Amino acid sequence: MSSGKINVAVENIFPLIKKFLYSDHEIFLRELISNATDATLKLKHLTNIGEAKVEYGNPKIEIKVDKKNKTLHVIDQGLGMTSDEVNKYINEVAFSGAEEFINQYKDSAKDSGIIGHFGLGFYSAFMVAEKVEIITKSHTEAPACYWSCDGSPEYSLVKHDKTTHGTEIILHIDKDSDEFLEETRIKSLLTKYNKFMPIPIKFGTKEETQEEGEGEDKKEIKKTVDNIINNPNPAWTKKPSNLKDEEYKSFYRELYPMQFEEPLFHIHLNVDYPFNLTGILYFPKLNNDINIQKDRIQLYQNQVFVTDNVEGIVPEFLTMLRGIIDSPDIPLNVSRSYLQSDGAVKKISNYITKKVADKLQSIFKKDRKNLEQKWNDIKVVIEYGMLSEDKFFDKAKKFNLFPTTTGSYLTIDELKLQTKDAQTDKDGKLIQLYAANVDEQHPYIEAAKVKGYTVLLLDSPIVGHLLQKLEQEDDKIGFVRVDSDHIDKLIAKDEPQICKLSDEQKEALKPMIENVVPKEQYTVQLEVMNSEAAPFMITQPEFMRRMKEMQQTGGGGMFSGGFPDMYQLVVNVNHPLVSQILETKTKKKKERLIKQSLDLARLSQSLLKGEELTAFIQRSYEMIK
Residues that bind ligand ADP (CB under 6 A): 31, 35-36, 39, 76, 78, 80-81, 89-90, 96-98, 116-122, 167
Residue 38's identity, in one-letter code, is D
Q: Which residues contact 218 (CB under 8 A, 6 or more apart)?
A: 211, 212
Whether the CA torsion 405, 411, 413, 418 is positive or negative: it is negative
| Residue 284 in the binding site for Mg ion (CB under 5 A) | no
- The minimum distance between CB 138 and ligand ADP, in angstroms, equals 9
Residue 499's identity, in one-letter code, is C
Q: Which stretch binds Mg ion (CB under 5 A): 30-38, 237-245, 379-387, 398-406?
A: 30-38
Q: Which stretch binds Mg ion (CB under 5 A): 58-66, 115-123, 220-228, 606-614?
A: 115-123
| Residue 97 in the binding site for Mg ion (CB under 5 A) | no
Query: N- to C-terminal Cα distance for the chain?
Result: 109
The C-alpha atoms of residue 67 and residue 172 are separated, in whole angstroms, by 10
Q: Which stretch binds Mg ion (CB under 5 A): 32-40, 75-83, 216-224, 360-368?
A: 32-40
Most distant pair of Cα atoms in the chain: their distance: 118
- Considering only 29, 32, 35, 196, the residue that binds Mg ion (CB under 5 A) is 35
**Per-residue exposure over 520-536, b if at least 16 CB sit within 10 Å of its own CB, e if not:** eebebebbebeeebbbb
Q: Which stretch binds Mg ion (CB under 5 A): 28-36, 179-187, 240-248, 494-502?
A: 28-36
Draw the binding track, 574-593, toward Mg ion (x: CB under 5 A; -: no contact): --------------------
The CA dihedral of 360, 365, 366, 372, to the nearest 10 degrees, is 60
The C-alpha atoms of residue 226 and residue 192 are separated, in whole angstroms, by 20
> By the 8 A CB rule, do 298 and 281 touch?
no
| Residue 116 in the binding site for Mg ion (CB under 5 A) | yes
| Cis peptide upstream of residue 274 (ω within 30 degrees of 0) | yes
Residue 553's identity, in one-letter code, is T
- The minimum distance between CB 62 and ligand ADP, in angstroms, equals 12
If you write DSSP's letter for every residue of 315-363 in order, what string do you get?
-GGGGGSEEEEE-TTS--SS-HHHHHH-HHHHHHHHHHHHHHHHHHHHH
| Residue 302 in the binding site for Mg ion (CB under 5 A) | no
- Considering only 121, 166, 263, 315, the residue that binds Mg ion (CB under 5 A) is 121
- The minimum distance between CB 46 and ligand ADP, in angstroms, equals 12
Interacting partner of 460 out of Mg ion, ligand ADP, none (Cβ under 5 to 8 A depending on kind): none
Q: Which is nearer to Mg ion, 116 or 166 (CB)?
A: 116
- The minimum distance between CB 407 and ligand ADP, in angstroms, equals 58
Interacting partner of 78 out of Mg ion, ligand ADP, none (Cβ under 5 to 8 A depending on kind): ligand ADP
Q: Which is nearer to ligand ADP, 101 or 393 (CB)?
A: 101
Interacting partner of 522 out of ligand ADP, Mg ion, none (Cβ under 5 to 8 A depending on kind): none
* DSSP, res 592: H
Interacting partner of 393 out of Mg ion, ligand ADP, none (Cβ under 5 to 8 A depending on kind): none
- The minimum distance between CB 351 and Mg ion, in angstroms, equals 28
Interacting partner of 89 out of ligand ADP, Mg ion, none (Cβ under 5 to 8 A depending on kind): ligand ADP
> Whose CA is closest to 37, among 74, 90, 80, 78?
78
The CA–CA distances, whole Å, from 173 to 71, 72, 167, 181, 600 equal 6, 7, 19, 8, 77
- The minimum distance between CB 58 and ligand ADP, in angstroms, equals 18
- The minimum distance between CB 144 and ligand ADP, in angstroms, equals 12
Q: Contact residues for Mg ion (CB under 5 A)?
A: 35, 116, 121
